[in-house]
Structure 1
Amino acid sequence: MTSAPPAPRPSWLLPTLAGYRRAWIGRDVLAGLSAGAVVVPQAMAYATIANLPVEAGLYTAIVPMAVYALLGGSRAMSVSTTSTIATLTATTFVSAGVVANSDQIPRDLVTLTLLVGAALLLARLMRLGSLVEIINKPTLLGIQIGVGATVAVGQLPKLLGETSAPTGGGFIHSINAVIAAVPQANPVTAILSLVSVAALFLFKRFLPRVPGPLVVVAAGILLVAFGGLRDAGVELITPVGQAFPLPTLPSLQHVFQLIPGALAIAVMAFLESAAVARGIRELDDPRIDSNRELFATAAANVVGGWFQTLPAAGGFSQSAVNKAAGARSQLASLVTVVLALLIGLFLGPVISLLPQATLAALVFVAVFGLVDVKDLVLLWRISRRDFAIAMLTTVIGLTAGLLAAVGVGVLFTLILVLSALNRPRVRAEEAADGRMTVVLLGPLYTANVLATEQSVLDAADAARATAPLTELTLDCSTLQDISITVILALRDLDRELAGRDVRLRVRGLPSAARAVAARTPWFRSLEAGGRVE
């Protein structure tokens, strides 16, 4: 008697294991360890941007990453937190009046991450996956530059030996904090920071396969343990105990104040995740489904929120390491999760020896790449308008704050999209024997139908200026859908042309749109008069 075959795995669970080969296991394990060497120290460092304990970053490298590994469709994307998300978290806390400190994780962080997850989940339920991605490159570049400059300047006091975390107060506040920190700079801390930053850049430039962040973190800990840095006044991070993510209830004290920041973070989280997922996809990998990624990112935040994590998104640096090490599925991310758990459970006393300046150096180098001068130069050469949008978004981010920059960036994008969609798209063919054809090149809807009507009339007037015109055929093949507003506008077009002694004919209207139009007396009269082809 043969045993029954195993029940098939649901398609929504572990989709990256579909068609998995046993030969990939070794590559996935190596990739997970390599990515962990980058993501764990970086996640801890990013937590300090929001003046949160490093445990918050460590938890973000565990729970959201595990959830995405179960649900996400990108084979190599590593999901924890990013410099952009951490910076927006800091800004949101300051705007909402939340007091964050490096001694304990505030319950408001639980609330914020849950709000981000809820916003993403709502967008998924409304199938807005593709809509969220409409933010254009200039706007996104301006936000990234604003984040990079704000975070980089915000790390300078820590690189000089101060313990303040001014990033959440914005760029101007960070500049003031740097000026105040210079007279009290600790020389040994400044030297350690300089060497750490230089080492990270050198690793990135000449030894990209070596986990530079892990090497620098290990060196910093060894120098504290055996090199006497503590006696020289080098500040260490807040002591880390046994760090294991435990469920925590949210705080409702600042929930309404946190909502604007949560919406901004949700937009940026999905934008970053979608960009990373598409950027690292191989040609033979499954296509990235925007709505699946939206759901996976939402679930990562909803589940992670209960465990005191920062809002989560796909990170480019750790994902690039993951891919370069040969990751073939999200099994690599699960290996990273296990590594982060082991670090949290057993290496807390060792991590507590980490100099604060070393973590600041990790953040400084990580955000340095956000200030992409080459992309700015490219925008200047291709489109001065796009360059102006990028710079305006940057200036708003540096002066009014990053939340305002995200809001203005979304508004810019919507204006540009509507402007492009509302532009009438018609092609007037040359008139002959008193007849001409105007072809609609795009759909008609409320916002562009009047401008399109005027374009058709202008084409008719231009043709009448050179020769008699008695008939105009409107090719409506592109109108897969039609509304009462469009039908009334076409009726007005018929009336305007009749006033010019020009007969309107309608050609190529698809059957579904024609059935809707036929419910009106005007269109039925057109059909009765033989003016519909």
Structure 2
Amino acid sequence: MPTGLLPTLSGYQRSWIRYDVVAGLAAGTVVIPQAMAYATIAGLPVEVGLYTCMLPMIAYALLGGSRSLSISTTSTIAILIASTLAALPDDRPGDELLRAAFTLTVLVGLALLLMRLFRLGSLVEQISPATMTGVKAGVGLTVAASQLPTLLGVTGDAEDEGFFGKLADTVSKLGDLSTATVVVSAAAIAVLYGLRRFAPQLPGPLVVAAGGILLVALTDIEQHGLALIPEVPSGLPTPTMPLWGEVGALMPGAVAIAIMAFMETVLVARAQRQRSEPPISSDQELLANGVAALVGGFSQCLPPAGGFSQSAVNLRAGARSQLAGIVTAVLAVLVALFLGPVLDDLPEAILASMVMVAVLGLVSPGDFARLRRIDRTEFRVAAATAVIGLTAGLLLAVFVGVFLTLVLVLRAVSRSRVRPLLPRAGGGWTINPDGADAEAATTYDDLVLLHLAGALYTGNARPTQDAVLETALAREPRPVAVVLAVAAVDQLTVPFLDVLEALHTDLAEDGIVLVVAGLQESAREAAGRSAGFAGLDAAGCVQPTVDAAIERGRRPGG
């Protein structure tokens, strides 16, 4: 697997350059206006979104493992930024709020790098699809509600937080809506959906942005209530220093954003990986994403993450490597240097339309319906996460979703590992009832035959021990022995030895012999250092095969 700097350029061919240049330009026409729109979700100036397409994208291009991933920021990240900043005291000047946002980006980078240092990528990836479904639904509806005032031309109340507060505030102001704004919004949304459906090769965000700018430049629609974005300064971002005094207040949000940024980046990267490309490494993506966020925090950027729509454009345009990402970053630099005055004519409703179309795609009733059909527990996790996101806030929803995922994982690994062992038709043994010989099973009424399906740990040791005892003591008449086949145990652990010793003692009180069958020789030698296991072995209760264990269990007197 290629590592180090520019891993996606390993084996690069000169003929690929034109594909990467075209792909980078095509992705830029989508990601640049989209990132500017997402900055408004976070309550930050649009140029912050533009800056996020520069150094973070170059940093990922140097270190990232996905050839076609395009990284900037996403609607999920933007709304989590807004939620985090909203928790800060509001009696601060605007430039301090900006520095707090950039401090948050630095902390996200540090959190991602710490996750890489401790190799937590595989752990974070255990977050269930149900949790992601719920979080995305909460994000989609909350962001959509936040964009309604801009789409309708009414003034939103910054004090209202959450989906229901924002929605109620907008409904109460419907009498003040701007007809010109509503018409422009509706037209932009129709064009975005139409291009996505009938001409996906065209960059919808660029088309509607250019159309909005031309409309303002050629007509007096601004005089009819159509609001424009604030003035966009020309030039490149200047270095900023974090507000270290805000670290405590920002850290919970930084952790939530780091988790979501990593998940989104890895999901998009793996979804777009071609068979001929190296596998996506969690550790590599944590490093690349972490460095991208860190350099972004010092250059007035939002926390970056892989975006699906721009990455899809990148892939469709034929991107061969992260050279396409560097081309997109150069395009963003050129826009910042030379097109600032042009962007001043961009209507706010156009950006809100881009956001609305993007975030409504996050709400998927079909995913909820599928979870409900297949796994009611996962459905409840998704529903709970979505409801918490809509009522109590998305930061809490992320943490609750992660907690519920850990609960489900712990529940899964805390189940008993024993299965009934059955005689196979034609000889041998199986845990599959369809392969068992029902007639032969009656000859083992005096025994309990069990199979241990893997190693034992703290979580599953007690349930496994209880299951063996319950199975043995429930049999009438009482069996003479319990044969436990342990050939599938590939790792010797202390809980495994403790369970064998406890079962030997507990079963013996009821006159039942425990016989262990099929333990691998290397594990048997190591287990012999335990006094309890050594006693079992000395009594002949450790046998190489199930058949030998049955013979030992039926021996008179145990």
Cα separation, partners in 2 of 1:98 and 1:328, compared to 1, 3 Å:
farther
Which of 513, 538, 541 lines up with 1:503 in the alignment?
513
Distance 2:209 2:93 in 1: 22
**1:438 alignment partner, SS class:** strand
Residue by residue over 1:338-360, the C-alpha shift from the partner in whole angstroms, topping out at 9 and shown as x without a partner, is 10010001111111111111111
1:3 — aligned with what? Answer: none
1:461 — aligned with what? Answer: 473
Contact residue 93 and residue 99 of structure 1 kept, 8 A: no
Alignment-mate amino acid for residue 123 of structure 1: M
Contact residue 486 and residue 516 of structure 2 kept, 8 A: yes
1:136 — aligned with what? Answer: 128
2:455 — aligned with what? Answer: 443
Indicate the larger mover: 307-316 or 493-502.
493-502
Which of 501, 510, 525 lines up with 1:491 in the alignment?
501
Distance 1:380 1:520 in 2: 48
- Following superposition, the deviation at residue 515 of structure 1 comes to 4.8
Distance 2:405 2:388 in 1: 15
**1:230 alignment partner, SS class:** helix
1:5 — aligned with what? Answer: none
Distance 1:188 1:255 in 2: 43
How large is the RMSD of aligned CA atoms in angstroms?
Answer: 2.1
Distance 2:176 2:194 in 1: 29
Distance 2:157 2:420 in 1: 62
Distance 1:40 1:522 in 2: 67
2:425 — aligned with what? Answer: none
Residue by residue over 1:153-193, the C-alpha shift from the partner in whole angstroms, topping out at 9 and shown as x without a partner, is 10010112245474982212311331244222221111111
Contact residue 49 and residue 165 of structure 1 kept, 8 A: no
1:97 — aligned with what? Answer: 89
Q: Any residues of structure 2 matched to 1:163-178 within 5 Å, and which?
A: 164=156, 166=158, 169-178=161-170
Distance 1:11 1:284 in 2: 17
Cα separation, partners in 2 of 1:327 and 1:254, compared to 1, 3 Å:
same
Indicate the larger mover: 41-50 or 193-202.
193-202
Distance 2:154 2:92 in 1: 17
- Following superposition, the deviation at residue 424 of structure 1 comes to 0.6
Cα separation, partners in 2 of 1:51 and 1:129, compared to 1, 3 Å:
same
- Following superposition, the deviation at residue 512 of structure 1 comes to 5.6
- Following superposition, the deviation at residue 237 of structure 1 comes to 0.7
**1:480 alignment partner, SS class:** coil
2:247 — aligned with what? Answer: 255
Contact residue 53 and residue 105 of structure 1 kept, 8 A: no
Contact residue 24 and residue 328 of structure 2 kept, 8 A: yes
**1:69 alignment partner, SS class:** helix
Q: Any residues of structure 2 matched to 1:179-198 within 5 Å, and which?
A: 179-198=171-190
1:316 — aligned with what? Answer: 308
Residue 194 (structure 2) pairs with residue 202 (structure 1):
yes
- Following superposition, the deviation at residue 457 of structure 1 comes to 1.8
Residue by residue over 1:37-78, the C-alpha shift from the partner in whole angstroms, topping out at 9 and shown as x without a partner, is 000000000000011011110111111111111101111011
TM-score under structure 2 normalisation? 0.89
Unmatched segments (≥5 aa) in structure 2? 423-440, 544-558
1:6 — aligned with what? Answer: none
Distance 2:53 2:21 in 1: 16
Contact residue 52 and residue 101 of structure 1 kept, 8 A: no
2:480 — aligned with what? Answer: 470
Residue by residue over 1:477-514, the C-alpha shift from the partner in whole angstroms, topping out at 9 and shown as x without a partner, is 33333443432222110011212222222233345644
2:554 — aligned with what? Answer: none
Distance 2:488 2:181 in 1: 66
Alignment-mate amino acid for residue 448 of structure 1: N
Cα separation, partners in 2 of 1:470 and 1:404, compared to 1, 3 Å:
same
TM-score under structure 1 normalisation? 0.93
Contact residue 43 and residue 61 of structure 1 kept, 8 A: yes
Distance 1:351 1:244 in 2: 15
Distance 1:149 1:442 in 2: 44
Cα separation, partners in 2 of 1:511 and 1:525, compared to 1, 3 Å:
same
1:293 — aligned with what? Answer: 285
Residue 237 (structure 2) pairs with residue 245 (structure 1):
yes
**Larger C-alpha radius of gyration, 1 or 2?**
2
**1:75 alignment partner, SS class:** coil
**1:311 alignment partner, SS class:** coil
Distance 1:369 1:144 in 2: 9
Distance 1:332 1:284 in 2: 18
Contact residue 52 and residue 104 of structure 1 kept, 8 A: no
Cα separation, partners in 2 of 1:207 and 1:133, compared to 1, 3 Å:
same
Cα separation, partners in 2 of 1:475 and 1:167, compared to 1, 3 Å:
farther
Which of 206, 215, 218 lines up with 2:210 in the alignment?
218
Unmatched segments (≥5 aa) in structure 1? 1-8
Cα separation, partners in 2 of 1:101 and 1:475, compared to 1, 3 Å:
farther
Contact residue 189 and residue 357 of structure 1 kept, 8 A: yes
Cα separation, partners in 2 of 1:512 and 1:107, compared to 1, 3 Å:
farther
2:146 — aligned with what? Answer: 154
Which of 372, 376, 393 lines up with 1:380 in the alignment?
372
2:538 — aligned with what? Answer: 528
1:304 — aligned with what? Answer: 296
Residue by residue over 1:405-434, the C-alpha shift from the partner in whole angstroms, topping out at 9 and shown as x without a partner, is 111111111111111111112122247454
Distance 1:46 1:335 in 2: 21
Which of 11, 18, 25 lines up with 2:10 in the alignment?
18
Aligned positions, number: 523
Residue by residue over 1:288-326, the C-alpha shift from the partner in whole angstroms, topping out at 9 and shown as x without a partner, is 111111111111111111111111110111111111111
Residue by residue over 1:269-288, the C-alpha shift from the partner in whole angstroms, topping out at 9 and shown as x without a partner, is 11111110111111111111
Residue 107 (structure 2) pairs with residue 115 (structure 1):
yes
Contact residue 454 and residue 490 of structure 2 kept, 8 A: no
Alignment-mate amino acid for residue 32 of structure 1: G
Which of 43, 55, 75 lines up with 2:47 in the alignment?
55
Contact residue 2 and residue 8 of structure 2 kept, 8 A: no
**2:450 alignment partner, SS class:** strand
- Following superposition, the deviation at residue 516 of structure 1 comes to 4.6
Alignment-mate amino acid for residue 539 of structure 2: G
Which of 27, 31, 37 lines up with 2:29 in the alignment?
37
**1:209 alignment partner, SS class:** coil
Cα separation, partners in 2 of 1:386 and 1:11, compared to 1, 3 Å:
closer
Alignment-mate amino acid for residue 214 of structure 1: L
**1:341 alignment partner, SS class:** helix
Contact residue 500 and residue 533 of structure 2 kept, 8 A: no
**1:231 alignment partner, SS class:** helix
Distance 1:97 1:172 in 2: 23
Contact residue 2 and residue 10 of structure 2 kept, 8 A: no
- Following superposition, the deviation at residue 97 of structure 1 comes to 3.1
